[in-house]
């Protein structure tokens, strides 16, 4: 059985697309082959900046012969019908078979689809793959119409077995498949012939190309860490950068360089960001001081001077970059120290946040107002919270953040410190954007929590007020993330915060429409959005959808902490036998009651009277309901859900016994009505805790 080797050789493929493209090549080709009947034993895909490679082992040399049976007309059917059938099947009369069936004798035809040689199928599948490749962005070049990520130069496509290798005949818009490729662009540019995957990989290595991205990344990382270790230093880990750099080189050569003494006092994050974003350098840290003191760059070639010239060039570029960063840092510090952060906030009056929601400065004023209001609920100092909100976005006017937007917040902290602001305020500048995603930490410092909440709530109420809500996969203003942020801030910090009044006031404060003061429906809609986000969030925690629904139906559902506390208590009680059986008992009671109410057209809401109780279990239920009610009401009043739920679960025994011994629909109408009223008691007592009707199962 032959092996198949494919290499698509092009101009430099963007690093971020390589791994996915290798995987897509594998998927599409193997799917196509298997669909055509060509199975294989193993497949591996590789990528470098200039090539996508696929190696298949143990491919069938031919696709299997396929037989297809077709049912034709009845024997003795009109001649025309039989001729038509023969034409369609491409057969003659003597090739048909007569078969007796329950419906009489019928003609059957057996069509044989002969197997095809692998080369033919490979050529078709590969051409189709190339023409329909799912690049995130593709282009045309020259005068042709073919699309690829960058110009495609050559196709290597061979089938090989013990007898040798043969080229799969294929021509895609003038690019004729062959059995040659090239090595490293500069170190080994000559073409060479390939006869198998083994010879391909080995020759590539001699030609200064490491085929496997993983191997290149491993090589870079081990060289880098060794170099740093030898100098008593450590490399700052960055998996994303490592993958990217491994996609920029075919022959990685790791070099370590110095950062000029002038720049060592820059904040480490600035050094790191500047080096990573602009130069794709790794940062090297002194573990004793925590400072970034050197950099690691990865070149794509060896040189006679062991990389000296390359390193000197890189160092020079870095110095120019860091001079800029240093210039920004010093200018910013001067502004922060002399004028304070207020000067920057004032400048945000000219920066539009959203054309319907006003300037950044107007937004900051709203956030500060809200922060002051939220402070007592979060347990932070209102003045500090408002002060923090007023300066938290000041750094957006700084030169450093203009250059490196990803440093927003962090620079705010440095500048707030430089301006002599309280530590809590500086901390809030950095933390108020958090949490940025599901895995990002939630701030815990009260002032930070307050500003973080105010920031996100203002964003949400603003976009709801102008009806710019997320739809489907479109969420350009990251409103889902903001809502999840509020949810996590509130739950993880135990903040009691009824949201509806905040939503309504927030929407009015946006002053989108001066005449409008009624936002009740819009606020309710935003709350529904929150509830949906909350369900997603709690599902990950293992809380069931229907349990949450049972709690959402209760009053105070705009207080997320209350809601979740209730849902957790209910989940816990339902996990016990008592709880599960109580639920069944409740449902039975509720069903009987509902049916009776529908049938009789009345509501059985009069108090049941114990004097009509006939049996002990009936009397016992009366007592149990009184006991439960006496325990549940005070527990609910202090929001002690576990106690309330335990009291409710204690009804399980009496309810079970009641159903065991008593027939609800008694002949005696007085008894029947009294028992139905008793069931109503059960419904009422349980309904204080949660809406159990919404729970499934």
Q: What residues line the site for other proteins (CB under 8 A)?
A: 11-12, 14-16, 49, 137-143, 149-151, 153, 186, 248-249, 279, 281, 297, 299-301, 303-305, 309-310, 312-314, 316-318, 320, 323-324, 350-352, 355
Which CB, 245 or 569, lies closer to other proteins? 245
3-state secondary structure 98-138: EEEECCEEEEEEEEEECCCEHHHHHHHHHHHHHHCCCCCCC
- Closest CB to other proteins among 348 and 690? 348
Whole-angstrom Cα distance, residue 359 to residue 348?
A: 7
Q: For 10, which DSSP code?
A: E
3-state secondary structure of 475: coil
Q: Where are the alpha helices (DSSP H) in 1-52?
A: 15-35
Task: Judge contact between 221 and 271, C-beta under 8 A.
Answer: no
CB of 201 to other proteins, least distance (A): 23
CA of 93: how far to CAs of 87, 97, 103, 114, 405, in Å?
10, 9, 21, 21, 79
Nearest approach in angstroms of CB 153 to other proteins is 7
Sign of dihedral through CA atoms 80, 82, 88, 94? Answer: negative
- The nearer residue to other proteins, 124 or 302, going by C-beta atoms, is 302
Minimum CB distance to other proteins smaller for 297 or for 571:
297
Nearer to other proteins, 250 or 578 (CB): 250
- Comparing CB distances to other proteins, the nearer of 135 and 612 is 135
**Among candidate residues 464, 455, 456, 451, the one with its CA nearest the CA of residue 512:** 464
Q: How far is the CB of 241 from other proteins (least distance, A)?
A: 13
Output 348-357 pairs: Cβ under 8 A, ≥24 positions apart. 348/393, 348/394, 348/396, 348/397, 351/396, 351/397, 354/462, 354/463, 354/466, 354/468, 354/477, 356/466, 356/512, 357/462, 357/463, 357/465, 357/466, 357/510, 357/512
Smallest distance, other proteins to C-beta of residue 306, A: 11
Backbone phi, then psi, for 556, in 5-degree steps? 75, 25
Q: How far is the CB of 13 from other proteins (least distance, A)?
A: 8
Q: Which is nearer to other proteins, 10 or 584 (CB)?
A: 10
Shortest Cβ 273–other proteins spacing (Å) = 16
Q: Of the two residues 300 and 688, which places its CB atom closer to other proteins in the complex?
A: 300
Angstrom CA distances, 584 to 578, 628, 657, stand at 10, 18, 13
β-partners of residue 299 are: 253
Distance in Å, CB of 176 to other proteins, minimum: 14
The Cα 370–Cα 508 span in angstroms is 12
| Residue 633 C-beta: closest distance to other proteins, Å | 57
- What whole-number distance in Å separates Cα of residue 207 and Cα of residue 191? 10
> Of 15 and 119, which CB lies nearer to other proteins in the complex structure?
15
The CB-of-327 to other proteins minimum distance in angstroms stands at: 8
Distance CA 658, CA 616 (A): 9
Give me the least distance between CB of 150 and other proteins, in Å please: 7
For tokens 């199962």, name the residue. Answer: 697
Long-range pairs, 348-354, Cβ under 8 A, ≥24: 348/393, 348/394, 348/396, 348/397, 351/396, 351/397, 354/462, 354/463, 354/466, 354/468, 354/477
In sequence order, what are the residues at sequence separation of 6 or more whose Cβ sits closer than 8 angstroms to the Cβ of residue 459?
A: 477, 479, 482
Q: Looking at beta carbons only, is 301 or 480 nearer to other proteins?
A: 301
Q: How far is the CB of 159 from other proteins (least distance, A)?
A: 27
Q: Which of 626, 611, 618, 694 is nearest to 662 (CA)?
A: 618
CB of 357 to other proteins, least distance (A): 12
- Using the minimum distance from each CB to other proteins, give the nearer residue, 300 or 640: 300
Q: Which is nearer to other proteins, 279 or 509 (CB)?
A: 279
């Amino acid at each position: 059985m032959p092996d198949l080797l494919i290499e698509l050789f092009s101009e430099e493929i963007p690093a971020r697309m390589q791994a996915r493209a290798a995987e897509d090549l594998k998927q599409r080709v193997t799917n196509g082959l298997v669909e055509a009947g060509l199975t294989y034993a193993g497949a591996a895909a590789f990528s470098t900046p200039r090539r996508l490679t696929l190696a298949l082992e143990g491919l069938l040399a031919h696709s299997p012969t396929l037989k297809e049976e077709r049912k034709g007309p009845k024997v003795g059917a009109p001649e025309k019908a039989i001729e038509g059938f023969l034409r369609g099947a491409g057969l003659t009369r003597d090739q048909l078979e007569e078969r007796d069936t329950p419906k009489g004798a019928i003609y059957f035809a057996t069509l044989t689809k002969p197997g095809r040689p692998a080369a033919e199928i490979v050529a078709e599948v590969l051409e189709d793959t190339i023409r329909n490749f799912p690049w995130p962005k593709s282009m045309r070049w020259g005068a042709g119409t073919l699309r690829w990520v960058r110009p495609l130069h050559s196709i290597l496509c061979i089938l090989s077995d013990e007898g040798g290798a043969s080229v799969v005949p294929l021509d895609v818009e003038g690019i004729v498949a062959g059995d040659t490729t090239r090595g490293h662009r500069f170190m080994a540019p000559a073409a060479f012939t390939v006869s198998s995957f083994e010879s391909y990989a080995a020759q590539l290595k001699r030609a200064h190309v490491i085929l496997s991205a993983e191997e290149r990344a491993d090589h870079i990382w081990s060289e880098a860490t060794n170099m740093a270790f030898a100098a008593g230093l450590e490399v700052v880990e960055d998996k994303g950068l490592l993958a990217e750099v491994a996609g920029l080189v075919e022959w990685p050569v790791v070099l370590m360089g110095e950062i000029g003494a002038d720049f060592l006092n820059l904040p480490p994050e600035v050094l790191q960001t500047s080096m990573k974003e602009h130069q794709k350098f790794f940062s090297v840290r002194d573990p004793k001081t925590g400072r970034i003191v050197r950099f690691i760059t990865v070149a794509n070639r060896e040189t006679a001077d062991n990389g000296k010239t390359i390193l000197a060039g890189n160092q020079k570029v870095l110095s120019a970059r860091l001079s800029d960063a240093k210039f920004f840092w010093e200018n910013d510090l001067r502004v922060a120290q002399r004028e304070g952060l207020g000067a920057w906030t004032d400048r945000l009056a000219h920066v539009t946040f959203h054309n319907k929601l006003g300037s950044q400065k107007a937004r900051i004023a709203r956030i500060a107002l809200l922060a002051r209001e939220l402070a007592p609920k979060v347990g932070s100092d209102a003045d500090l919270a408002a002060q923090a909100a007023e300066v938290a976005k000041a750094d957006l006017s700084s030169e450093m953040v203009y250059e490196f937007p990803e440093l927003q917040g962090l620079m705010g902290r440095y500048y707030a410190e430089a301006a002599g602001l309280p530590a809590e305020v500086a901390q809030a500048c950095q933390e108020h954007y958090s949490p940025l995603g599901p895995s990002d930490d939630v701030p815990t410092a009260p002032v930070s929590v307050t500003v973080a909440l105010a920031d996100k709530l203002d964003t949400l109420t603003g976009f709801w007020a102008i009806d710019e809500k997320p739809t489907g996969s479109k969420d350009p203003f990251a409103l889902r993330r903001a809502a999840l942020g509020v949810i996590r801030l509130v739950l993880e910090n135990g903040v009691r915060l009824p949201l509806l009044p905040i939503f309504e006031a927030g929407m009015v404060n946006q002053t989108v429409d001066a005449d409008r003061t009624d936002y009740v429906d819009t606020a309710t809609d935003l709350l529904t959005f929150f509830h949906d986000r909350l369900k997603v969030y709690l599902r990950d925690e293992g809380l069931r959808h229907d349990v949450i629904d049972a709690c959402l139906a209760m009053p105070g559902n705009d207080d997320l902490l209350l809601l979740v506390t209730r849902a957790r208590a209910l989940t816990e009680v339902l996990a016990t036998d008592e709880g599960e059986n109580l639920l069944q008992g409740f449902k039975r009671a509720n069903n009987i009651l509902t049916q009776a109410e529908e049938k009789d057209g009345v509501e059985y809401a009069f108090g049941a009277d114990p004097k009509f109780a006939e049996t002990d279990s009936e009397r016992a239920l009366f007592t149990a309901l009184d006991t439960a009610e006496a325990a549940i009401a005070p527990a609910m009043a202090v929001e002690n859900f576990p106690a309330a739920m335990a009291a409710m679960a204690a009804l399980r025994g009496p309810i079970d016994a009641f159903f065991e011994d008593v027939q609800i629909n008694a002949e005696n109408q007085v008894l029947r009505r009294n028992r139905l009223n008793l069931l109503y008691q059960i419904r009422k007592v349980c309904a204080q805790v949660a809406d159990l009707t919404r729970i499934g199962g």
